[in-house]
């Protein structure tokens, strides 16, 4: 699992370990903390923690990857599948640093494919994003809706999807599932694992979490003149534990098919920024301060998943609602006001 110390990676690691998988986690900690690996071990408990190996490496380092895939981690068995989370993911930053985004997201995926091929590993679960669709023509968005990415980050994900799809045509023994995430939020209910971005958060939920502990003064709500009921942007927020379970469902269905398949992971329900602020305020027990400002460049009015394909083919459905997402995110932030590294903002 590349990107095992990240927000989605760490939760998926817990889910897979708890379900009985052995996991070799990989991360370079460029946007995550080594503490997350300790927390994974703490959450799963001592009996299972031994099934997690961890190696610090950059996925662009093909030689190191090859060594890892050749060795199979502690115990040395063959690697069954790779889950590839490691990537850069801030849209605004991608506009300022496109070369770094193409390098980290596209080059790393190519090096990974080469290393996998060299060592006979041909099952891959790839992290993609609903942002490959850009401005949707109609909602909710099914997988077959056209891809029209509007920024370099989204383009890196769309390019990787096409690389993987082409690979599966050329080499039919590959089994690849790309999962398009909508807006992952929430935290592990233990309060031990959660989202801990470095610097000022780009995304609305971690920003609200930091407002709630006083690290940030107030949320700026980006635009109230969208064609939505309350004028603020609508997104399909999905609990990170539901998302983690979606990866396990994909893992268990990799062998149903050969070739390439893409699935949306979302709830199918939209929530506006103001509804999210209200729900999070409810979880915290007091109103959180916010101010309506202008639109953020590049934002779309509304993105909501059509999650039916994942339900029908993977048997996966979300189980957690907005109140659960807010409760668990708050529990994590309350217990870790300065994040994993304990640095107050
Ligand atoms: C973006 C990307 C997505 C990427 C994700 C994680 C798009 C369309 N989406 O999601 O691909 O995977 O980031 O990095 O490019 N908002 C505020 N105030 C804030 C922050 C956000 O009002 O301080 C609003 C936004 O305008 C939006 C909603 O909250 O309506 C969600 O924003 P955000 O959490 O940043 O996620 P996306 O932009 O949907």
Q: What is the CA(204)–ligand 1 centre distance, in A? A: 6
Ligand 1 in reach of 128 Cβ (< 6 A): no
Closest residue to atom 1 of ligand 1, CA basis: 91
Residue 271 has pLDDT above 90, yes or no: yes
Domain parsing of the chain, residue ranges: 7-335
The arithmetic mean of pLDDT across residues 10-15, rounded, is 98
Residue 7 has pLDDT above 70, yes or no: yes
Q: What is the pLDDT of residue 73?
A: 58
Residue 343 has pLDDT above 90, yes or no: no
Residue 72 has pLDDT above 70, yes or no: no
Q: What is the CA(180)–ligand 1 centre distance, in A? A: 15
Q: What is the CA(247)–ligand 1 centre distance, in A? A: 22
Residue 345 has pLDDT above 60, yes or no: no
Q: What is the pLDDT of residue 76?
A: 65
Classify 7-335 by CATH class: alpha beta
Average pLDDT, the chain: 95
Using the atom order of ligand 1, give the atom closest to the CA of residue 226.
Answer: 30
Ligand 1 in reach of 89 Cβ (< 6 A): yes
What 3 state SS string does the chain have?
CECCCCHHHHHHHHHHHHCCCCEEEEECCCCCCCHHHHHHHHHHCHHHHCCEEEEECCCCCHHHHHHHHHHCCCCCCCCCCEEECCCCCCHHHHHHCHHHHHHHHHHHHHHHHHHHHHCCCCEEEEEEEHHHHCCCCCCCECCCCCCCCCCHHHHHHHHHHHHHHHHHHHCCCCEEEEEEECEEECCCCCCCCCCCCCCCCCCHHHHHHHHHCCCCCCEEEECCCCCCCCCCCEECEEEHHHHHHHHHHHHHHHHHCCEEEEEEECCCCCEEHHHHHHHHHHHHCCCCCEEEECCCCCCCCEECECCHHHHHHHCCCCCCCHHHHHHHHHHHHHHCCCCCCCCCC
Q: What is the pLDDT of residue 81?
A: 97
From 224, 235, 278, the mutation candidate for ligand 1 (largest count of ligand atoms within 8 A of CB) is: 235
Of the residues 21, 80, 102, 153, only one is catalytic, namely: 153
The question of whether 207 is a catalytic residue gets the answer no
């Amino acid at each position: 699992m590349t990107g095992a110390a990240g927000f989605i990676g760490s939760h998926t690691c817990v889910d897979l370990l708890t379900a009985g998988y052995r996991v070799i986690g990989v991360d370079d900690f460029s946007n995550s903390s080594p503490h997350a690996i300790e927390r994974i071990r703490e959450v799963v408990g001592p009996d299972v923690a031994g099934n997690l190996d961890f190696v610090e490496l950059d996925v662009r380092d093909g030689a190191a990857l090859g060594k890892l895939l050749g060795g199979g981690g502690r115990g040395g068995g063959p690697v069954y599948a790779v889950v590839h989370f490691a990537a850069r993911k801030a849209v605004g930053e991608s506009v300022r640093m496109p070369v770094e985004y193409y390098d980290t997201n596209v080059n790393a995926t190519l090096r990974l494919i080469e290393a996998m091929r060299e060592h006979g590993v041909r099952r891959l679960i790839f992290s993609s994003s609903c942002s490959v669709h850009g401005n949707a023509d109609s909602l909710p968005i099914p997988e077959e809706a056209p891809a029209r990415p509007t920024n370099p980050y989204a383009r890196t994900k769309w390019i990787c999807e096409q690389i993987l799809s082409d690979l599966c045509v050329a080499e039919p023994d590959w089994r690849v599932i790309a999962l398009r995430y909508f807006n992952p939020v929430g935290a592990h209910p233990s309060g031990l694992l959660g989202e801990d971005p470095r610097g000022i958060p780009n995304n609305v939920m971690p920003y609200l979490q930091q407002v709630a502990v006083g690290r940030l003064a107030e949320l700026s709500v980006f635009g109230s003149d969208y064609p939505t009921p309350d004028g603020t942007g609508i997104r399909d927020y999905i609990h990170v534990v539901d998302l983690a379970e979606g990866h396990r469902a994909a893992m268990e269905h990799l062998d149903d098919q050969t070739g390439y398949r893409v699935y949306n992971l979302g709830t199918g329900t939209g929530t506006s920024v103001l509804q999210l602020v209200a729900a999070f305020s409810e979880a915290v027990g007091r109103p959180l301060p916010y101010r309506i400002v202008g639109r953020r460049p590049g934002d779309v009015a509304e993105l909501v998943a059509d999650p039916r394909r994942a339900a029908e083919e993977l048997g996966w459905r979300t189980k957690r609602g907005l109140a659960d997402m807010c409760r668990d995110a708050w529990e994590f932030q309350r217990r870790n006001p300065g994040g994993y590294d304990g640095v107050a903002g």
